[in-house]
Amino acid sequence: MHIVLVGLNHRSAPVELRERLAFRREQLPDALARLRRDVGLREAAILSTCNRVEIYAGVPVLDGAITRLQEFLSRHSGVVLPQLVERLYSYTEPQSIHHLFSVTSGLDSMVLGEGEILHQVKHAYEWARDSGATGKALNALFQRALNAAKAVRTQTAIGRGGTSIGTVAVELAEKIFGHLSGAVVLLIGAGKVGELTLKRLAARGVRQARIMNRSPERAASLACGYGAIPVALGELGVQLLDVDIVISSTSAEGCVLDRQAVAGAMRGRQQRPLCLVDLGVPRNVDPAAGALENVYLFNVDDLQGLVAHAHEERRQAVHDSTAIIDQKVERFLAWHRREFELEPCVL
C-alpha cells in the first residue's frame, strides 16, 4: 500500500485559492466516499485548515493516483486543472510520511510550533476513520504522526511562548492600538482558534471582550471561563458600532461581515477606526470592506510578517524536533515496508 499526498498550503497558494479548496466538516463524509468510489483510493483522509488542504491516500499502485487526486480537487474547487496544478504539491512515501509528521508537529505551520494543528490533524483522522475511509496504512500513519508530535512538544521548546495564529492576531492588534486593556474586542467564533485567541486576550489584560457564536450555549460557556460577555449573532450590527477590534474565526461558508454592513457601522461610528482580523478560511469578512476609510482589515496571509521573530527564537527547537521526526519516520517506514512488502526507500 503506497501513501500518497496531494495538497497546498499557505506557502504554495494565497488565501483566495485555499478558501476555494477548503472542505467544511459536513462535506467530509461525502468527499471521502467519492475519493474511494470515484478516485479509486483504498484509504483516504482530508486535512482542511485555514492554512492548508491536503488529501492523504492509500493506494495499491501509484499509476495515475496523483493525477486523479488533482482532478478531484479541481472538480471540488471549480478551479481549472492547469491553474490548480501549479499550486499543488504531490508526494509519495517517504516524503508524504515525513510531511505529515512535520505538519502534525507544527514545523510546517505559518506560526512555527503552533499547537492547534495537532488537534486539527487528530480530528481529520477521527473523521476519516469514523467514515470508514481509513485502514491499516493510514491508521498507523496518523497514530504515529500524532505520537511524534507529542514527543516533539514534550522534548523540545518548539511550543513555548505564543505559538498560535490567535496569538499573532492579538499581537497585531497591540501594534495598532498599543496596550489592549482599554480596547473593546468582539470575537466571532468559539472553536479552538477562538478559544486560544480569547485566552491570549485575557492574558494581555483585555477587560472588555465579547464573544458570539452560532451556538449560544458554546459562546456562554467560553465567555464564562474568561470573564467575557456572550452576545447573540443577531446583535452583530449593534456590536460593530461599539467595538474597536473584531477577530473572526468561524467556518462559515459565506461572509459573516459584508462591505455594506461595515460601511453602515462606520457611518454610525462617525469614522472611528475599526480593526478587523479575519482568521477564517473561507474568509469571514468581505475583502472589499478593507477599502473603506478607517477600516483596517487583515486576513491570515497578512499575519505572516509578524511570525519571523517567533521563528528565529525557535530555530534550535526546530533542529531538535527534526531529529525526533526523522527517527519516528524511519521507524514507521520500516514497519510500512514489512507490512506491505515494499522496496526500501531513502529520505
Binned at pLDDT 50, 70 and 90, residue 346 comes out as: very low
Mean per-residue pLDDT, 11-24 = 95
The whole-number pLDDT of residue 347 equals 38
Task: State the average pLDDT over residues 299-327.
Answer: 80
Check if the beta carbon of residue 64 is closer than 8 Å to that of residue 9.
Answer: no
Q: Which residues of 160-188 are buried (b: 16+ CB within 10 A; e: fewer)?
A: eebbbbbbbbbbbbeeebeebeebbbbbb
The hierarchical CATH code for the domain 165-306 is 3.40.50.720
pLDDT at 315 over 80: no
pLDDT digits (tens, 9 = 90+) for 149-200: 999 999 998 877 556 788 888 888 888 888 888 899 999 998 888 888 888 8
Rounded distance between C-alpha atoms, residue 200 and residue 203, angstroms: 5
**Mean pLDDT across the stretch 115-129?**
95
C-alpha span between 330 and 114 (Å, rounded) = 24
CATH of 2-160+314-340, one of 3.40.50.2000, 3.90.1150.10, 3.30.460.30, 3.40.718.10: 3.30.460.30
Decide if 117 contacts 314 (C-beta within 8 A): no
Tell me what pLDDT residue 193 has.
Answer: 85
What residue ranges do the domains of the chain occupy? 2-160+314-340, 165-306
Mean pLDDT estimate for the chain: 91
Is 2-160+314-340's fold the same as 165-306's? Answer: no
114, pLDDT greater than 90: no
What's the whole-number mean pLDDT along residues 267-281?
93
Q: Is the pLDDT of residue 312 over 70?
A: no
Distance (Å, rounded) from C-alpha 210 to C-alpha 188? 9
Q: Distance from CA of residue 290 to its chain's centroid?
A: 22
Does residue 313 carry a pLDDT above 70?
Answer: no
Q: 141, 128 in Cβ contact below 8 A?
A: no
Cell numbers of 103, please? Answer: 505538519
Residue 75 — φ and ψ, nearest 5°?
A: -65, -40
Residue 4, pLDDT > 50, answer yes
Q: What is the pLDDT of residue 162?
A: 56
CA dist., res. 268 & res. 291, Å (int): 17
- Categorise residue 78: left if φ over 0, alpha if ψ from -120 to 50, beta otherwise: left
Q: Which of 60-69, 106-115, 165-174, 296-305 has the highest mean pLDDT?
A: 60-69
pLDDT category of residue 343 using cuts at 50, 70 and 90: low
Distance, in Å, from the CA atom of 252 to the CA atom of 237, rounded to the nearest integer, reads 17
* CB-CB neighbours of 294 under 10 Å: 12
50 tagged catalytic: yes
| 14 vs 277: CA distance, rounded Å | 16
Separation of alpha carbons 257 and 77, rounded Å: 23
Return all residues near 174 (Cβ < 8 A) that are at least 6 apart. Answer: 180, 204
Q: Which of 50, 255, 275, 345 is catalytic?
A: 50
